[in-house]
Amino acid sequence: MMQLHNPVLRGFNPDPSILRVGGDYYLATSTFEWFPGVPIYHSRDLANWRLIGHALTRKSQLDMLGVPDSAGIWAPALSLDNGVYYLIYTIVRNRTGAFKDVKNYVVTAPAITGPWSEPVYLNSSGFDPSLFHDDDGRKWLVNMQWDHRPAHPRFGGIVLQEYSPEEHRLVGPIINICRKEPLIEGPNLYKVNGYYYLMLAEGGTDWNHGISMARSRHITGPYELDPQPLVLTSRKSPGAALQKAGHGELVQTPSGRWYLAHLCSRPLYPVRRCPLGRETAIQEVIWSDDGWLRLKSGGTDPALQVALPEEITPHPWGVDQQWDDFDAASLAPHWQSLREPVEPRWASTSERPGFLRLRGRESLHSLFEQSLLARRVRSFCTTAQTALEFEPEHFTQSAGLVVYYDTRNHFYLRVTHHEQMGKVVGVVQTDAGVYSEHIESQLAVSHWPRVYLKAMIHDESLQFYASADAENWHAFPIICDFTKLSADYAGGFTGAFAGVCAQDLRGTSICADFDYFQLENQ
């Protein structure tokens, strides 16, 4: 019997939204400040997934310049009705303090691969919206309601309102259908055996995370709570391999079996930090005799391996591309930029054929215009490598290899100019917003026409290397703490990326040319 191995999507793929169309499964996840927004993965067996593109590829769909770290896209929701694909998503513009400034949108497409429409604004009352298509043809939006008032629970319940596809807007009364302590979010509605089931993400998205249920005979309520407090959680198993389990969606196979896609994290012990971020796992679930959702494996802990039925034929896609020589006219879909689309004015594979040319812009601390392209780190044993041709003329000009969490937490092996040494390569870092340079270990490389750069991650350790020929490597003596690139140290909701970047703080847009990029996730 075929086994599904969790997580099925490794490395920063949280808040999964899953959809079946015939024998095909599609899954979308959150992207926060990374562009393009909302990756869409495809599977034919629930175990093997491939990236087929992104839903939000235009600035008109996703305007994020200036949004803070871990804001941007939260919790997308995919659905299909009458041949039209719907994607509901939130853009968060402020995530700290008493207020959440959010806008919820819907886009539609004739196919899962698009083209996706211009966004239609829905509401701003809270985040995590999803769209339910009832069997009478009516459509309903649910989202959590944010309450900014002192002495009130911030998570003010789940609100329901009808959506009119003809008018492209929400209509009718807004009804609070469920309140519960502790905090609840991530609502999704399902109709099974005459009941409306409300699936909820509960307890925050950290170590206390979980999934709970409520149900009603009427979509507007009242909803009764599941007598079992949680369907899924890892809060009672602090040493388990899969932690932070919660926020999920259901999918049904053609033969009627049910599966739950949910987020989880894999900590490094004993430090208990998760630098790969929140990932996606899948569990088989069943309906109990009294009509409540339960894990088929029993209990509430997520399983590392899940048996798949014989009806599902294995359909592997092969290994993700680990080497990019930048020979193609456009970048591979695994690449992501920060807050804005890739444009020829700052990133090009055609300006110098066979190279990725980045034009230096703002610093790695900027919330606006960064010339940075990166890919998800998916394994605790990962090597990233590139070759850079770059001739800086001033200390304000840099380019190189970055291992990045957010503007306040990253490690950077960069080539720059030193007044006495000329061209140098060295390690700089930003730790909890504090910038520092390891000047004593800088390496003079003025006689190197090309600088090879490498980062090696092994569990909690990250070390950088440089070479003139990609054979004889100079190891920088600084051992960086890779676990700091995690929500558990840095806050936020994303995960570690590795990539290339360029800065020019003088504003002259100096060019940095990268011949290739290799990312080996073992």
Given this structure, which CATH class describes domain 323-521? mainly beta
pLDDT in tens, 400-419: 999 999 999 999 999 999 99
pLDDT in tens, 474-510: 999 999 999 999 999 999 999 999 999 999 999 999 9
**How would residue 299 be classed by pLDDT, with cut points 50, 70 and 90?**
very high
pLDDT above 90 (res 2): no
Whose tokens are 């944010």? That residue is 146
Q: If you average pLDDT over every residue of the chain, what do you get?
A: 97
Token digits of residue 319:
């290994």
Q: What is the pLDDT of residue 347?
A: 98
pLDDT above 90 (res 522): no
One-character DSSP codes across 121-186 = EEE-S-S--EEEE-TTS-EEEEEEEE--STTS-SEEEEEEEEEETTTTEEEEEEEEEE--SS-EEE
**How would residue 320 be classed by pLDDT, with cut points 50, 70 and 90?**
confident
The sign of the torsion formed by the CA atoms of 271, 275, 277, 282 equals negative
Q: What is the pLDDT of residue 403?
A: 98
What are the phi and psi torsion angles at 398 (to 5°)? -145, 155
Q: What is the pLDDT of residue 504?
A: 98
Task: Return the amino acid letter for 455.
Answer: A
pLDDT above 90 (res 291): yes
pLDDT above 80 (res 28): yes
pLDDT in tens, 81-93: 999 999 999 999 9
pLDDT above 90 (res 80): yes
User: Dihedral through CA 339, CA 344, CA 345, CA 348, nearest 10?
Assistant: 100
Residues annotated as catalytic (active site), given as ranges:
369
The sign of the torsion formed by the CA atoms of 119, 125, 128, 132 equals negative
pLDDT in tens, 413-461: 999 999 999 999 999 999 999 999 999 999 999 999 999 999 999 999 9
Q: What is the pLDDT of residue 316?
A: 94
**How would residue 52 be classed by pLDDT, with cut points 50, 70 and 90?**
very high
**How would residue 224 be classed by pLDDT, with cut points 50, 70 and 90?**
very high
Q: What is the pLDDT of residue 469?
A: 97
Q: What is the pLDDT of residue 435?
A: 98
pLDDT greater at residue 96 or residue 396: 396
CATH 2.115.10.20 fits 3-307, yes or no: yes
481 bridge partner residues: 461
The sign of the torsion formed by the CA atoms of 448, 451, 455, 456 equals negative
**How would residue 309 be classed by pLDDT, with cut points 50, 70 and 90?**
confident
Distance CA 306, CA 316 (A): 16
pLDDT above 90 (res 319): no
CA–CA–CA angle 36, 42, 46 (5° rounding):
135
Q: What is the pLDDT of residue 235?
A: 96
| Residues in CB range of 59: below 8 A, 6 or more apart | 340, 341
pLDDT in tens, 239-286: 999 999 999 999 999 999 999 999 999 999 999 999 999 999 999 999
Q: What is the pLDDT of residue 184?
A: 95
Domain ranges in the chain are 3-307, 323-521
Distance CA 229, CA 439 (A): 54
pLDDT in tens, 164-194: 999 999 999 999 999 998 789 999 999 999 9
**How would residue 521 be classed by pLDDT, with cut points 50, 70 and 90?**
confident
**How would residue 310 be classed by pLDDT, with cut points 50, 70 and 90?**
confident
Q: What is the pLDDT of residue 181?
A: 81
Q: What is the pTM for the complete model shown?
A: 0.97
Mean pLDDT of 10-25: 98
Q: What is the pLDDT of residue 158?
A: 98
